Structure 1
């Protein structure tokens, strides 16, 4: 509502906050309910909805983080072009592309996953409906390999976004090191490094959780990885971006 906060950075921060809130609300309330009431059940429809919304928000998060990194890159490395490259229309188009691609990707995942026949029971061994655990219950090899293909494509795109973020930060750090003020350099590094650490944690844990070979899978490892990318990252992002703002 404040006109002073209608900058591209705050516009994308709003969208990132929505994805973080969505990730938390999709998995944590049901897990808390099951823990408090000592139950371990979820309906088939609720499981499908949880898979869709979780993938929807998680798939939108990394493109938004990449766009926010691009925003910082332009602001620091190409300040004279900032108004041209990141106008209101360009920001709206980039945000719409992130949400639309996330919607399509999550729809494909959910439709393919829940079209597979389950022949090995219905116990997931996870605190939310996670696709790798659902695939373990399937006996359809074609659908299984199709889903693995989706995950590989998604993982490749995530790694591409991560490489772009790292490359942008290298350019940002090179520009920051030329700042004559030590206080200015410290401020830039203290803001960028926690964000880069969170992006690294999010990408590596999510990719490893979905693409790791079954031979190294264990209940405790699966749980730890799931908590790190589905709960820890969305919870810490608001602190990283908001605690330094007046």
Structure 2
């Protein structure tokens, strides 16, 4: 499907952490492994809590459950390979595996951004139009929004991957990254159409992500205006607390993404690029369940109720 006959290469080499001192790699492995396991555990706990607690069967927590799922799948596309390469001396990745990794990382990355946008809209409706919330955010409508975010992420992943892997790769085959990301892969392509494809892919990705960011900012502009009109301080605090965790995750998500993808062009070491990319691919997914668990009082209470009652069942 991706036109493998367009390339003379059958595999790539992920340079990634191979330029770091070897005595540091076991420490990196342990750190990233613990962060990865915590990310999986945290998101699984959120999903299980929402699934088992009937009081959380609302659109907001449906979106959170979908967000946790996309977070799990995004890290699954990148982190296991990263951990393997940290302890391995052979860092080759097959052509098809590289294309698959790019597809899944972009699919779940864009799905994550689309879900954050939908969650911003959900908070806008809840605070600015509370009387119409159950109509505008009906169970069927919410399920359709989740389905559209996943479909949109899949389309973006497919478009980006097909555009990149229809290029011709003549050599060298060293990807200066720890996973198959677009900029370092494009540098290995040859042909007169490479600059046009790279520019097109970059414009599409930036346009979509900035569009999501602007929609979230627009939602919070109306949300803040509505909160400021609430007469009581208690009412304002209660209204803002319902969207504090989402807003924090948005800031972390787009903050780290802008550092990685919108950094100024200039001399930059491979080690510096690698560590900057880690903030987005490993650290951001690690922080997300922590933020939602600690800043969402309703979810935190439900977690204690659900899991503590199973660990310490009351005796009759």
Q: Distance in 2 between matches of 1:124 and 1:208?
A: 21
Which secondary structure does the structure 2 equivalent of 1:42 belong to? strand
TM-aligned CA deviation for residue 197 of structure 1: 4.4
Q: Deviations over 1:173-217 (max 9, x none)?
A: 222234444455445546645543432443354356446675455
Label 1:191 to 1:28 Cα distance change in 2 as closer, same or farther (>3 A): farther
Q: Distance in 2 between matches of 1:142 and 1:204?
A: 32
Among 275, 283, 287, the alignment partner of 1:224 is: 275
If the length of structure 1 is used for normalisation, what is the TM-score? 0.89
Label 1:16 to 1:133 Cα distance change in 2 as closer, same or farther (>3 A): same
Q: Distance in 2 between matches of 1:190 and 1:229?
A: 26
Higher relative contact order (CA 8 A, sep 6+): 2
Among 154, 161, 166, the alignment partner of 1:103 is: 154
Structure with more strand by fraction: 2
Instruction: Indicate if the aligned counterparts of 2:160 and 2:201 stay in contact, CA closer than 8 A.
Output: yes
Gap runs ≥5 in structure 2: 1-50, 302-316
Report the counterpart of residue 196 of structure 2 in structure 1.
Answer: 145
Instruction: Indicate if the aligned counterparts of 1:20 and 1:57 stay in contact, CA closer than 8 A.
Output: yes
Larger Rg: 2
Instruction: Indicate if the aligned counterparts of 2:256 and 2:284 stay in contact, CA closer than 8 A.
Output: no
Q: Distance in 1 between matches of 2:210 and 2:222?
A: 18
Report the counterpart of residue 8 of structure 1 in structure 2.
Answer: 59
- Runs (4 or more) in structure 1 with deviation over 6 Å come to none
TM-aligned CA deviation for residue 125 of structure 1: 1.7
Report the counterpart of residue 26 of structure 1 in structure 2.
Answer: 77
Report the counterpart of residue 55 of structure 1 in structure 2.
Answer: 106
Label 1:76 to 1:191 Cα distance change in 2 as closer, same or farther (>3 A): closer
Instruction: Indicate if the aligned counterparts of 2:111 and 2:153 stay in contact, CA closer than 8 A.
Output: yes
Report the counterpart of residue 87 of structure 1 in structure 2.
Answer: 138
* Mean Cα deviation higher: 170-179 or 9-18: 170-179
Alignment pair present for 1:163 and 2:214: yes
Q: Distance in 1 between matches of 2:142 and 2:267?
A: 42
Which secondary structure does the structure 1 equivalent of 2:81 belong to? helix
* Mean Cα deviation higher: 184-193 or 33-42: 184-193
Instruction: Indicate if the aligned counterparts of 2:245 and 2:292 stay in contact, CA closer than 8 A.
Output: no
Report the counterpart of residue 118 of structure 1 in structure 2.
Answer: 169
Which secondary structure does the structure 1 equivalent of 2:173 belong to? coil
Q: Deviations over 1:88-140 (max 9, x none)?
A: 12112211111111111111211121121223311112111111100011112
* Mean Cα deviation higher: 13-22 or 38-47: 38-47
Label 1:149 to 1:175 Cα distance change in 2 as closer, same or farther (>3 A): same
Alignment pair present for 1:235 and 2:270: no
Report the counterpart of residue 35 of structure 1 in structure 2.
Answer: 86
Gap runs ≥5 in structure 1: none
* Mean Cα deviation higher: 114-123 or 35-44: 35-44
TM-aligned CA deviation for residue 62 of structure 1: 0.7
* Mean Cα deviation higher: 141-150 or 64-73: 141-150
Alignment pair present for 1:78 and 2:129: yes
Q: Distance in 2 between matches of 1:181 and 1:39?
A: 63
